[in-house]
Amino acid sequence: MNSPTPANARIGIIGAGPGGLTCARILQQHGIPVTVYDRDPDADSRDQGGSLDLHEEDGQLALREAGLLEEFFALARFEGQEMRRMDAAGRVLAHHLPDEGERVSPEIDRGQLRDLLLRSLAPGTVQWGRTLESVSGPADRPRTLTFSDGTAAEVDLVIGADGAFSRVRAAVSPATPRYVGVSFLEAWFDDMDNAHPELSELVGRGSAHAADGERGLFAQRNSGGHMRVYIMRRVPVDWIAANGLRPKDTEGIRAHLLREYAAWSPRLRQMISDNDGAYVDRPLFALPVPHTWEHSSSVTLLGDAAHLMPPLGVGVNLAMLDAGELALALVHSSTIDDAVRSYEKSMLPRSAETARMLEHGAEFLVAVPDPDDIEPLDHAQH
């Protein structure tokens, strides 16, 4: 079968996250029709997660191509580039304060970024409540998307932007994510300046990280006076049940954590004891390195669906870079097949190289900092 031209193809993107929506936005800017399918019932059905830092060389590059960079800057928190590195005693080992006008990696809430991208799309682009069950059909033919509500759609190209546990991935790869041995427990804090003034002072306007070799804490300011803390530990994936606890047993989990962090500074332990609401268990998974697949003219992947890695600040940036490159390949290629080949020729080596660098990156999150890697404290903090 001859591969269709992008302008005449039925393109379906699975997943309305930053990667999928960025790809859709750029395609629509160039007159290429696209439909995005997402399992959420609507755009506001769940919390979208914490803060993201978008880098000049990838995330911001994709937003520039999408014509949304200035709108991003209007929403971004440049003060969120502040970063403090501490030890378990609460001593500040390194402190970065952004320079005036610094735009290297400003922060934005994930929900705000998603809303920005959604507003930029033509009405009806995203079909909500469409949970993908499977992708079927031969590699060189149109694919059938089957959804959990019993409906189906036929597309010439399916783009898997559906995250860590992608349903699209199975159409081109047998790989499945594996637990990396480090787990996050997410804690939320509200009205920081009034309800949590000591933590507000400790963390500053951006983020703070401390670790002792087995466990760590990463605090990150969000917009609206909120903060999220990620309690990071080397534990089995089933540690909650193994300790006789339940995910909603907030007090039991808190007592267990405070025993584990007993030697830590009382100020840092407030990140465990003073949270507003329940904890959220987030074990870390990664795909094998490198993750590649046989070319298909009708299926490709981007973001975590293609190259799930430890969360070290690259995930959303790579997803948006992938999205921009795939969209432009479709814009500038004569056939869908040519576009997918062009995109994967650059994306797969890039993602493999990054994945190799970050393969054991989860260990960094709980490691005691090497003195040689600690930069002098910024004079501005004094």
* Strand boundaries in 215-304, DSSP class E: 215-221, 227-234, 280-286, 299-301
Which among 345, 213, 344, 360 has a CA at the least distance from the CA of 284?
360
Only one residue has tokens 């597309």, namely 155
Long-range contacts of 257-261 (CB under 8 A, 24+ apart): 257/185, 257/231, 260/215, 260/233, 261/215
- Measured between alpha carbons, how far is residue 19 from residues 58, 115, 308, 355 in Å? 12, 13, 13, 18
**Bridge partners, 281 (sequence order):** 185
The DSSP output letter for 267 is: H
**Torsions phi, psi for 159 (to 5 deg):** -110, 115
Helix axes 18-29, 315-332, angle to 10 degrees: 30
List Cβ neighbours of 124 (8 Å cut-off, separation of 6 or more): none
Which among 7, 32, 8, 42 has a CA at the least distance from the CA of 118?
42
68: left (phi over 0), alpha (psi -120 to 50) or beta: alpha
* Binding annotation: 46, 53, 110, 304
Helix axes 250-260, 266-273, angle to 10 degrees: 160
State the Cα–Cα distance between residues 115 and 95, nearest whole angstrom. Answer: 32
Q: Token digits for 354?
A: 């990054």
Only one residue has tokens 């996250």, namely 17
* Binding annotation for NADPH: 46
* Binding annotation for FAD: 53, 110, 304
